[in-house]
Chains A and B, each alone.
Chain A
Amino acid sequence: MSSRVMPYRGSLVSREQVAVYEFSWPALILIPLVALLVQIFIPVRVRYFPIIDLPFMVTIFFAVARRNPISGCLTGCVIGLMQDLFAGPNHPLGMYGIALTIIGYVASSLGVKIDTENPGSRFLITYVFFVLHQGIYYGVAHGLLRQAQEWSWSHVAISALANAIIGLLVFAFLDRFKEH
């Protein structure tokens, strides 16, 4: 039950103070693991599921809830590397790791400044961060590794929309694990 109040340092929210949540260790470990398992298992049955990125959502959720850039980027790094482990032999470890590290850092930094509790801001955050995530991944694959990558704005936009919608439900579910 550790909850503390962080002094408000931005001007994007009307509140003066932003709550910082913490999570129990089992939740911190099990939620990303379950998200990863679901992510690699469900596409066997559901055709278009891979456009949904549950580990990405979990990273954002922890980052904006804990509002600590260091823990945010560490969480993103661990989840991303775990996602890399299952992505095939032609997918070097670290591609998702780098993308989610940056997402975790930016999300937690932003979480300090804006209210991430209401659905509208959550929708927007997820949408924007998904596009950013895809951009970072593309940059790493294409720029660093010289892999042939396709970039389709329409596909990214639709995927981001789907993730933003699903993200609302996922965040609402994960709110139960917050500790005040």
Chain B
Amino acid sequence: MDTFLGRYKNLIVLAAILFAQIIGLAVQVRRPSQVGETRLIRLWAISAVTPIESAVVHAQKWAQHLWTNYVYFRGIRRENRELRAQVEQMKIDSARLNEDARMARRVQSLLEFKEQYVESTMAAQVIGTSGSEQSRVLYIDKGAKDGVKTDMAVITPNGIVGKIVQVFPSSAQVLPINDQFSGVGAVLKDTRLQGILKGSQSGATTLQYIMSDEKVEPGEEVLTSGGDRVFPKGLPVGKVATVEPGKDLFLNIRVVPAARLDQVEEVLVITKITEKMPDAKDLAPIRAADILAERLPTVPTKPGTDAGSAKPSDANSSSASAHSASTGNTPAPTGIPSAGRPTAGTTTVPGVKPSVGTAPGSTPGTTAAGTTGAAKPSTAAGAKPLSTATVPAAAAKPKTVTPTVSAPTNDTTSGATDAQAPAGNNPATPAEKKAQPPAETAPGTSPGQPAKPATTEPPQP
């Protein structure tokens, strides 16, 4: 026996070690109740390594920060100029999109449609990976102490990254969407086809369970569907790269993730998602002035300008400014022809038709303020004052119909019900005007009926 053991000692040791590990594997695999829990040895190992990783990452970050913020300024002025131009452009885009979003929310509220809102997020730093090709998990430097819990969504500004699968005291493990064990509910943005986005061992992501008779084009955006109860609906996932017929009845759609999963460094952990109705404040009456105040850039008033010494033509504008200031709105810029740009308090009286050039000495854009500012909303033509008018334009009473409620042109001021019209009736490019849906026509005008110009009748006192 001794001879046998001595002769095959090496092999026996090898077999014993392998046997022990296989038994260990079997024990792990046959314990479904343990799924989701963290083994103590894993916890110890990760807790021991996390501080080192975290220190290395933060030291590197600090050095990089020092270099980029205090030393390396090459091209920063040019970049600043470019960014300023970009910001200006984005402001314009933002105003338009805000209006679209408002309209969508109004429609949603009418349909009693609940939305998911990302209420709070937490920034985290990626400090490590699994280090192997077979697993693509990431480690972040926020853990249970910071309020991180399993199944929280992890995103970047570009798109989703993954979800938290294990939480340790000061770190957490993220399962990215390209891991072979990952699955995300996704929807194609244009066709609204729903599927499941799955990762693979090679790191490629595919959208599965979309029938092969559906038409999907490469380049189409993929968003989260919210069906997985992890990611809120509508977050960007990626873009369709290729579409091929797959096995069975489904298409094989390869998706390029929007977030760069192979080089992700900072992420946001969504710590709270709320489900609620669209914001009620959007359902409150909206005045055209409010919309326009958001849309148009403001011009700072010149120092030393005295309202009392202003010319008659300026008096209107200054009164308008004063009025709008009292209502908390941005005053209409005096230096800009305010055609079609009503200010607060100037558009409350239906039937009063402010028009161009009716106020002596007034500029076209400032007439409404001067001529209608004194009119009491409650007494004007029996129509509701603008401040109480409901926003959905189609719901407005026909009583408020006046010739002046039409969509403003560049040379006209808005009438009373102009305020009820969506902001699409504001000074906009012809293309924008054309794009307005029929429901956004001014009250009193039937969807198909073209609006009359505002300058056809003189104003009524």
Contacts and interface: CB of A to CB of B under 8 A. Distances in A.
Q: Do A and B associate with each other?
A: yes
Interface of A: 36-37, 39-41, 43-45, 47, 50-51, 53, 69-70, 73-74, 77, 81-83, 85-98, 101-102, 105, 109, 137, 140-141, 144-145, 148-150, 152, 155, 159
Where chain A touches its partner, the secondary structure class is helix
A47 B262 CA distance: 6
14 contacts: A37-B53, A40-B130, A41-B57, A41-B128, A43-B129, A50-B131, A69-B13, A69-B14, A74-B13, A87-B137, A101-B17, A101-B18, A145-B25, A159-B133
Interface residues of B, number: 52
Given A44-B126, A148-B180, A141 B14 contact: no
A44 B179 contact: no
Most buried by B among A53, A89, A144: A89
A22 B56 CA distance: 31
Contacts of B56: 41
B222 to A, nearest CB: 22
A72 B136 CA distance: 28
A62 to B, nearest CB: 15
Contacts of B9: 70
Interface of B: 9-10, 13-14, 17-18, 21-22, 24-25, 28-29, 35-36, 38-39, 41-42, 45-46, 49, 52-53, 56-57, 126-139, 165-166, 173, 175, 179-181, 200-202, 262-263, 265
Instruction: Output the residue of B133, B138, B263, B265 with the most chain A CB within 10 A.
Output: B133
A92 to B, nearest CB: 4
Contacts of A140: 25
Given A51-B133, A73-B14, A93-B25, 15 more contacts: A40-B49, A41-B57, A41-B129, A44-B128, A44-B129, A53-B132, A74-B17, A87-B135, A88-B181, A90-B179, A92-B29, A93-B42, A102-B14, A148-B201, A150-B202
B22 A37 contact: no
Nearest to B38: A89
A145 B166 CA distance: 21
A105 B135 contact: no
